[in-house]
Copies of this chain bind each other. A is one copy, B any other.
């Protein structure tokens, strides 16, 4: 039985994670790390005083001492993550991190600590296996079908365009295909922005409409053919298998894994 402590347990991602772990037979949530509510309990997403549900700690060392978790699953904001992860490693707890907010330097620091202490860790900016497969396949396919456009589509309450996943996809493709101009060399854009955002020749288009949830398609064109890789995310439940895959994998590791795609 893998014992898991969760940082960020009260958030939407944390709620999903608790559900995923509780539905698994080989793992259990033993504690929650929080910046407040020390000594209280999280029971069915509510903070209570009675000793029922998941005990809350504000100190990871005290949590470790009393609950002995194998894994710290951190789904908090980027601010707290870096400290949490370092502390976990020093306490011999395997960190599983679910944000894309860590800087390159922070990731390097963590990697150094992991290698020194031989306590494996995993950082996954995206826990959706379907989304990760789409990105991985896009990268593989771009070696052969090198002209690529990305269309990402989200609800109209989203603030930023393009989406993080679209940018990540383009970054992954950049690693395998040489930068080149796509489209007709003398192409004329009669209305500004029609041809989308440019990333080394690749185009990204961001659609925002009420009704939409979170969708992305990667179009790869070759002479006479088109390959389309599409992912639709309808519900946060889609993160569950990825979360469990990460938790089960990390307890046997002594190195740092960046990206769920490394496990696929």
Contact = CB atoms under 8 A, between A and B. Distances in A.
Contacts of A241: 144, 222-223
A1 interface: no
A206 B211 contact: no
- State which size class the interface on A falls in: 35 or more
Contacts of A134: 227
Nearest to A20: B223
24 contacts: A133-B145, A137-B137, A147-B210, A149-B207, A156-B221, A162-B191, A167-B190, A189-B197, A191-B197, A194-B196, A196-B205, A196-B206, A209-B221, A210-B223, A211-B232, A211-B235, A212-B221, A222-B241, A224-B233, A224-B235, A224-B237, A224-B238, A226-B232, A226-B234
Given A209-B219, A209-B221, A234-B234, 19 more contacts: A128-B225, A130-B227, A133-B137, A161-B190, A162-B194, A182-B208, A184-B208, A191-B198, A193-B195, A203-B207, A211-B222, A211-B223, A222-B241, A223-B237, A224-B237, A225-B238, A226-B234, A228-B229, A228-B231
Question: 5 tightest A-B contacts by CB?
Answer: A209-B221, A224-B235, A191-B197, A224-B238, A225-B238
